[in-house]
Structure 1
Amino acid sequence: CLDAYSHGDVPFEQLVEELQPERNQSYTPLFQVMFALQYAEAEKTGESWELSGLKVSRLATNNATSQFDLTLWMRETESGLTGRWEYNTDLFDAETISRIAVHFQNLLEAIVASPEERVAFLPLMAEEERHQLLLEWNNTRSQYPENYCFHQLFEKQVERTPDAIAVVFEEEQLTYRELNLRANQLAHYLQSLGVGAEVLVGICVERSLSMIVGLLGILKTGGAYLPLDPDYPPERLAYILSDSQTTILITTKELAIQLPSLPELVVCLDSDWESISTNSTTNASLPVRPDSLAYVIYTSGSTGKPKGVQICHQSLVNFLCSMRTIPGLSDTDAILAVTTISFDIAALEIYLPLIVGAKVILASREEATDGKRLLSKLELSGATAMQATPATWRMLLASGWQGSPQLKILCGGEALSKQLAVQLLGKCSSLWNLYGPTEATVWSTVCSVNASDLIESHENVSLSIGSPISNTQIYILDKYLQPVPIGVSGELHIGGMGLARGYFKRPELTAQKFIPNPFSDELGSRLYKTGDLARYLPDGNIEFIGRIDNQVKIRGFRIELGEIEATLAQHPEVHEAVVIVGQDISGDKRLVAYIVPEAEEELAGSVLRGFLKSKLPSYMVPGAFVFLETIPLTPNGKVNRPALPAPDGDNLSFAASLIPPRNAVELQLSQIWSEVLNVSPVGVTNNFFDLGGHSLLAVRLMARIERQFGIHLPLTTLFTEPTIESQANLLSAQGNFRSSSPLVPIQHSGDLPPLFCVHPIGGNVLCYAELARHLGNNQPFYGLQSLGLSDEKEPLTEIESMAAIYIEALQEIQANGPYYLGGWSMGGVVAWEMARQLLSLGQEVALVALIDSYTPIAASSQVEQIDEATLANSLAADLGGLFGTQLPISAQNIQQLKPEEPLQNILAAAKRRNLLPPEVGIEQMCRLFQVFKANRIALANYQPQPYSGRVALFCASSPEDDRGWSSLVTGELETYVIPGDHYGTMQQSHVRVLAQKLEACLN
């Protein structure tokens, strides 16, 4: 260090030239902050002085630029040290620099006053600022019903508004009185099984009225509930049940069969309700106390195993009463509840309305996870409030949501960016940004977002998370638990009534994360160390900066990246794994896994994705897998995360396996694929569906190809030619590829007998893509598509003719039986007729699978009654249903239009809802309508005859309705219940269950 002084006269510019550091226009090289102590002018404090005959005088200048980010010039004078700050105004404002100057002066004074004190404990702040940070901004004391539990507040609301609607789910609803009576019956039943204070009861049910009854019933016993998401992998559910030592579980008969292990006592809310309903309807009188346990929620853990967070009634009640005031909810409100109960923020959506007399509108799982369905639900339900994560709000916007002027938006679970806030603020009555960890009972701070906040903040920064809620304290501290000044980042600590009791059976972790509160004289007062970086702003609001550790939030779910890495390490072919959070083109966060395989052989991302899906919830499965030879390290041996390469797609392999475009056609196609799929680069042999393609993207892709090349490729060619290479060959053939066969090979390979599935009323077989994939690579799967959909042929108008032509087509693949036939909706009807004709030809039919198919009622639907307006309205309903939404089209409106206008209106409405891309033209819509019309006429004229073979009927939701088939089946009729409604059955969230049951029938 002393040797450096001998080189003190070396110019800065020469030093930069010699060292040649990596240059960046956003900051100066070598260093950005400079401290300079000047001695030469110690005696020259006047306006002028002389140096060896030279007279020197001062000339005032106005410095227009700062060479460094921050410079402090200090010089000695007769009266002591004086200083001057020079700073980059793009980085600092005058108020910040003034505070820094005061803090520096306080530090110097403290050093002089206490020279023996450790540097870490020398104060930067004056007592006034310390008082403001610790006391004034934490003065949140507020009265609340501290002697009550949540269910007691609900019971008081029942007394006030017994006949008001409490909860709505699909077509069902319960008043406050009805909900209370049912919950009381369940509570008394559970009490008879031994449930009482501190007894943990698992609840694993689908979203329904029964779910609300189950939660209230448990709380009314004095017990605590343990939410279990039916969508979690069996291994995770089994671990949570085992770790929590749960001895009683509330579920349904269907889910009980699917669970990996069951505790000693199982209560099925459907099959056991007859016994439950015989119990008393009076409120249970129990010695439950506010400090009794209300629920335990398991969150991700860094060790690879989740941990249970214990929340008491007093924490829940304090939170709800604070939220009742700010952001506010009243008995005139209706809140759309979209969050799974295994995520703690669901407590606001379900419980807050029930203590103020408001209405809970419970969205189904399909509605909550599908943008189109959620948009439709929000528009039709009349909701005045909705809470969701930023990812869900982005999903709504991407689905075409235009806003709801009466809606109060609550946004939390991950950082709210200015960009998203700008999009939301003009579409609602008010926008609220919320922050809080599970360990502090849902939300700990709240902030009303105003237009002025958006003007003042930078484009991509997160907005303020506001100030603490009632009876909650926020401290931002350094690693020595000393408060940091305003504007300085530190770890956010939370104190007050919201703190959890601790982690279930994890005393060491509890002691590590819940520490004594050094700023309170109250006995037993604690702080929770969040691991979040934040800073106080001058106005008392708080800015969230990020995480200190390896924990992240995606779609509101808290995720320990270490848990994913630990699970990946269990795979025998993984040598090393690192998981980070990236961002896709739309701005949504996504997990990216970097893998070093155990051997040189290539390891497919799909293999690891399937492995993780069997062990972790879907939100913890990375969206991209990048394979590397080695993980980059820093000089000290740690993972160099900034050096990890950006992912090139959603299912990557070694770069050598990516075959680049080899001619002009492949190059143009690769650009279109990259644009549609948001993946780059794309190899010419990559599969469209492996890259994340689905039916809507398929429509967009084909429309873009037609616009680019002027050649129409049928959608079904994506099954037969799912790569750029094969599509290029089709385009090069200038359209001579079209086949007259209705047969579409969706899955070629496999040793099992092929399954042939007939199109629904729309004529297309893209709806079977997910079903075929879930049935596996060993099950050949062929679709039978309507004539006229992708060629110039006239659509068929008779079921019998369709069956005959489809039989000819399938016999080109399989000359003789036994045949396995099936179809969804209308497809089942055609499959029925095919089976009859095959039997008459002396062939064997092993199975007819009817997927939510109804028998046509020919007598009530004559051909002449099917007018164009009715058909157009039906087409609009079918198109919307396929994507889980409704188009704003009615038969009454259509009848008032000119003949050419209905299809134009449907096309425009579908484009507005993003059901169809802008490139789809009226010619394609007319072709679709003609096929739909022909199929509708065929159904209306068909009179099914009895059939003696084996039939499997898959019913969506209502097994008691046999859809009219039992009177026609003279052989064996098997009935299976599948989740979802008629359209939801074939969508990704439910098709897995359908595939499992169909596979059992096929085998």
Structure 2
Amino acid sequence: MPASRTPQDVLARIRRHAAQDPTGVALVVGETTLTYREFVLASAGLAGRLSAAGVRSGQTVVLYQRQSAQTVVGMVAALWLGAAWCVAEPGQPPERLRALVRDVDCGAVVHGGTDAAGEPYTPPELNALREDAPRPLALLANRCSTEPAAGPGARTDVADAYEAVPAPAETSGAAPAYVITTAGSTGEPKAVVVTRDNLARVIEARPEKPGCVTFSPCRLSWDGSLLLLFHALCTGGTAVLPDHRQLPDAAESAALVLHWRVVYAGGPPSYYRLMLPHLAGADAHLREVILAGEVFPLGLLDQHRAVLPRTQLRNEYGPTEATITVLAHPVAGTYREAVPIGRSLGGQSAYVLDERLRPLEPGRLGELYLGGGQIALGYAARPGDTARHFVADPFTRRRGARMYRTGDLVVLDERGEIVFRGRADGQLKVRGVRVERHGVEAALEDHPAVGQATVLGVPDRHGDTRLVAFWSPAEPGGILPTARELVEFCTGRLVGQAVPGNFHLVDSMPLGPSGKTDEDALRALLGTDTAAAGDVCGTDPATAEPPPEARPDGWHGWPEPQGAVARLWSRVLGHDDFAADDSFFTVGGDSRRVVELHLCLQREWPGAVRVGQLFDLDTVESQAELVAAVKPAAPPARGAATGTPEPGDDAGTPGEQQ
């Protein structure tokens, strides 16, 4: 769509479909179902409560809650008021949450916290907000959902939960619609401000497919989840999402795709790979899968075709600063090197330029710049960063047009398609989020015991990037921090994806001929021990020798099965600095490592644990109690092949497979 034409606002489109088909299913999150009437009434009702709390047009509503239907209701409620939304994951360090609230002109923090008795309470990190921050507004879970839906025809009555249904605010398309945080040059989050017109344009750039069912297996704090969500809501379709308990379980996500007969799905390649073994037969209704957020692994193409031969794949590309997606490539045929990220969509512009902003011929390596009506406003409260990355577009006559400097190195191939070659500034994609490794190094070097740090991106067995940190002491003979202390130190300063999963102590950094750190020498220190780089369970967990930094001395004398569970923790985390009652997520664990831990536990105790349980039962003690009643798997026969159980290898229900 030409950048000069004004697109139709997404809220107006949602309300129109609610008027045309009020009983149609608009939203499914986990087991909760909302019709268009219920969804619009819930959003309007929350908008009334926010307005009564003093939220003004142009402010930001921070949605501090685990993923649920009420999260999406909160997003549309913010639009209703002419405000923006920002989804923030619970459990963030108070200083990070405080910085976000400060930077985005936060009008309210909406959360769904309840205690064990179901009574509302304010999470302690919200109480740590500075005094001039907005008073957190509690959003009770039963405000927009009651009992789980019984099936496709079930309904959730929410109309009685609200009294005030205010008229939508008159808002300019240039007003902010949402804020997404992304890693900055210091490793600290930067808040990208995206306008209502930006969002409307990316939806209108897609061919309209009225009434279709879409699925995004992603967190709503990642903008990649928004494309199919709003495409469905703006075209009278049904948007299906996993809730916070289903998100880490690819089998449960696949079950949603099959149950709701999803037509269009999208997400990062690494997660789609885990879903594939559970999607057999889905190509009877699944027309297209959009993969984005990570480099497309060539091996995934054959896996996809073996399971879903009739489903089209698309490789798409778009940084947060250019509103979700700008380039697309229909995946077809075979590829010798890399799958292209494609051509520009919907009247957007893509330029391959040299350091003097001159267009380069096909085959020449250059930096990718993006232009058009999807370019975001910039970074909240960071005018310097905004000026550096959002520059004037000299290739258009449109007044005030800007282009975004992506920092991605690309080439234009002979067919006119863009092929990704790497990063110009040391950034890495980790679980779909851009992380600048030099910023992570700077954060580590802020620790008084760390003299120098080097952070590398190391592929695991799936080809996904994991961060490995090498560090040398500030003073010889000084007190050295443990791996857990370094994780805790980094967690308070960096986004979750920027926290290294493994820490390796070296006497000093090896230097190359130029005097710079010899990264190849550091990689050589990892050797062939992929477990040190986060590739766990590469051999039989019952017999594999743990890496040197993960010897079982730290849990010597622990009763079984705690000792066995602890050994698996060590292999997943790359260290043994944890106690029996430590939370997995405070000693270096994250959502990806939960999946890896589940694979290891599943191999040793088949069927004992579902991956979703590991988020609540997150200590060695609790997990040992869970597996205690299950007979351990028999060790493989001498000479038998051992290896990582791929998702779906173990028999069981869809919820037991991973």
Q: How does 1:750-789 map to 2 (within 5 A)?
A: 774=619, 785=628, 789=631
Q: Sort the Cα spacing of 1:685 and 1:720 in 2 relative to 1 into closer, same or farther, 3 A.
A: farther
Q: Letter of the 2:650 partner, please give it.
A: L
1:555 aligns with 2:431: yes
- Encode CA deviations 1:764-810: one digit per residue, 9 max, x unaligned: 9989999897389xx99989955x9579xxxxxxxxxxxxxxxxxxx
| Distance (whole Å) between structure 2 residues aligned to residue 171 and residue 361 of structure 1 | 10
Q: CA deviation at 1:619?
A: 2.5
In structure 1, which of residues 485, 490, 494 is the aligned counterpart of residue 370 of structure 2? 494
Q: CA deviation at 1:224?
A: 1.0
Q: How does 1:739-758 map to 2 (within 5 A)?
A: none
Contact 1:299 1:309 in 2 (8 A): yes
Q: Sort the Cα spacing of 1:162 and 1:690 in 2 relative to 1 into closer, same or farther, 3 A.
A: farther
Matching residue of 1:73 = none
Contact 1:233 1:617 in 2 (8 A): no
Q: Sort the Cα spacing of 1:765 and 1:371 in 2 relative to 1 into closer, same or farther, 3 A.
A: closer
Matching residue of 2:134 = 264
Matching residue of 2:385 = 509
**SS of residue paired to 2:254:** helix
| Distance (whole Å) between structure 2 residues aligned to residue 687 and residue 588 of structure 1 | 26
Matching residue of 1:444 = 326
Q: CA deviation at 1:486?
A: 1.2
- Encode CA deviations 1:30-62: one digit per residue, 9 max, x unaligned: xxxxxxxxxxxxxxxxxxxxxxxxxxxxxxxxx
Q: Sort the Cα spacing of 1:491 and 1:508 in 2 relative to 1 into closer, same or farther, 3 A.
A: same
Matching residue of 1:421 = 301
Contact 1:186 1:276 in 2 (8 A): no
Q: CA deviation at 1:147?
A: 5.2
| Distance (whole Å) between structure 2 residues aligned to residue 748 and residue 346 of structure 1 | 34
Q: Sort the Cα spacing of 1:650 and 1:573 in 2 relative to 1 into closer, same or farther, 3 A.
A: farther
| Distance (whole Å) between structure 1 residues aligned to residue 581 and residue 400 of structure 2 | 67
Q: CA deviation at 1:639?
A: 2.9
**SS of residue paired to 2:26:** strand
1:584 aligns with 2:460: yes
Q: CA deviation at 1:715?
A: 8.2
Matching residue of 1:148 = 8
Q: Sort the Cα spacing of 1:400 and 1:175 in 2 relative to 1 into closer, same or farther, 3 A.
A: closer
1:308 aligns with 2:178: no
Matching residue of 1:932 = none
Matching residue of 2:230 = 351
Q: CA deviation at 1:314?
A: 0.8
Matching residue of 1:915 = 650
Matching residue of 2:64 = 204
1:574 aligns with 2:434: no
| Distance (whole Å) between structure 2 residues aligned to residue 374 and residue 307 of structure 1 | 30
Larger radius of gyration: 1
- State the TM-score, normalized to the length of structure 1: 0.52
Q: Letter of the 1:295 partner, please give it.
A: Y
- Encode CA deviations 1:812-848: one digit per residue, 9 max, x unaligned: xxxxxxxxxxxxxxxxxxxxxxxxxxxxxxxxxxxxx
Q: How does 1:282-321 map to 2 (within 5 A)?
A: 284-321=167-204
In structure 1, which of residues 671, 675, 681 is the aligned counterpart of residue 539 of structure 2? 675
**SS of residue paired to 2:301:** helix
- Encode CA deviations 1:477-505: one digit per residue, 9 max, x unaligned: 00011100011111100010010111112
**SS of residue paired to 2:619:** helix
Contact 1:400 1:913 in 2 (8 A): yes
Q: Letter of the 2:139 partner, please give it.
A: L
Q: Sort the Cα spacing of 1:618 and 1:278 in 2 relative to 1 into closer, same or farther, 3 A.
A: closer
Contact 1:535 1:545 in 2 (8 A): yes
Q: Letter of the 1:396 partner, please give it.
A: M
Matching residue of 2:641 = none
| Distance (whole Å) between structure 2 residues aligned to residue 268 and residue 477 of structure 1 | 49
Higher deviation after alignment, 367-376 or 491-500: 367-376
Matching residue of 1:279 = 163
Contact 1:748 1:780 in 2 (8 A): no
Q: How does 1:38-77 map to 2 (within 5 A)?
A: none
Matching residue of 2:469 = 593
| Distance (whole Å) between structure 2 residues aligned to residue 410 and residue 689 of structure 1 | 46
| Distance (whole Å) between structure 2 residues aligned to residue 495 and residue 531 of structure 1 | 14
Q: CA deviation at 1:596?
A: 1.2
Q: Letter of the 2:648 partner, please give it.
A: R
- State the TM-score, normalized to the length of structure 2: 0.78
Matching residue of 2:588 = none
| Distance (whole Å) between structure 1 residues aligned to residue 298 and residue 440 of structure 2 | 30
| Distance (whole Å) between structure 2 residues aligned to residue 638 and residue 220 of structure 1 | 53
Matching residue of 1:631 = 509
Q: Sort the Cα spacing of 1:264 and 1:427 in 2 relative to 1 into closer, same or farther, 3 A.
A: same
Q: CA deviation at 1:373?
A: 2.7
Q: CA deviation at 1:558?
A: 1.6
| Distance (whole Å) between structure 1 residues aligned to residue 562 and residue 223 of structure 2 | 45
**SS of residue paired to 2:247:** helix
Matching residue of 1:226 = 86
Question: Any stretches of 5+ residues in structure 2 without a counterpart?
Answer: 115-120, 144-157, 569-578, 583-604, 634-644
Q: CA deviation at 1:690?
A: 9.1
In structure 1, which of residues 409, 412, 417 is the aligned counterpart of residue 289 of structure 2? 409
Matching residue of 1:698 = none
Matching residue of 2:257 = 378
Q: Sort the Cα spacing of 1:572 and 1:499 in 2 relative to 1 into closer, same or farther, 3 A.
A: same
Identical amino acids, percent of aligned pairs: 26
Q: Letter of the 1:270 partner, please give it.
A: L
| Distance (whole Å) between structure 2 residues aligned to residue 523 and residue 329 of structure 1 | 33
Higher deviation after alignment, 260-269 or 518-527: 260-269
Matching residue of 2:394 = 518
**SS of residue paired to 2:408:** strand
| Distance (whole Å) between structure 2 residues aligned to residue 337 and residue 514 of structure 1 | 29
**SS of residue paired to 1:180:** helix
In structure 2, which of residues 245, 249, 258 is the aligned counterpart of residue 366 of structure 1? 245
| Distance (whole Å) between structure 2 residues aligned to residue 162 and residue 285 of structure 1 | 18
1:240 aligns with 2:240: no
Q: Sort the Cα spacing of 1:329 and 1:368 in 2 relative to 1 into closer, same or farther, 3 A.
A: farther
Contact 1:534 1:545 in 2 (8 A): yes
Q: CA deviation at 1:376?
A: 3.2
Matching residue of 1:108 = none
1:621 aligns with 2:499: yes
**SS of residue paired to 1:256:** coil
Q: Letter of the 1:631 partner, please give it.
A: M
Q: CA deviation at 1:640?
A: 2.9
Q: How does 1:873-884 map to 2 (within 5 A)?
A: none
| Distance (whole Å) between structure 1 residues aligned to residue 104 and residue 183 of structure 2 | 15
Contact 2:343 2:417 in 1 (8 A): yes
| Distance (whole Å) between structure 2 residues aligned to residue 525 and residue 534 of structure 1 | 23
Q: CA deviation at 1:612?
A: 3.0
Contact 1:747 1:780 in 2 (8 A): no
Question: Any stretches of 5+ residues in structure 1 without a counterpart?
Answer: 1-139, 654-671, 692-713, 724-745, 750-761, 792-909, 918-982, 989-1003
Q: CA deviation at 1:687?
A: 4.4
Relative contact order: is structure 1 or structure 2 higher (C-alpha 8 Å, sep ≥ 6)? 2
| Distance (whole Å) between structure 2 residues aligned to residue 490 and residue 253 of structure 1 | 48
> How large is the Cα RMSD of the aligned pairs?
4.0
Higher deviation after alignment, 163-172 or 371-380: 371-380
1:435 aligns with 2:280: no
Q: Sort the Cα spacing of 1:783 and 1:269 in 2 relative to 1 into closer, same or farther, 3 A.
A: closer
Q: Letter of the 2:619 partner, please give it.
A: H
| Distance (whole Å) between structure 1 residues aligned to residue 356 and residue 549 of structure 2 | 56
| Distance (whole Å) between structure 2 residues aligned to residue 678 and residue 522 of structure 1 | 64
Contact 1:142 1:471 in 2 (8 A): yes
Aligned length, in residue pairs: 574
**SS of residue paired to 1:387:** strand
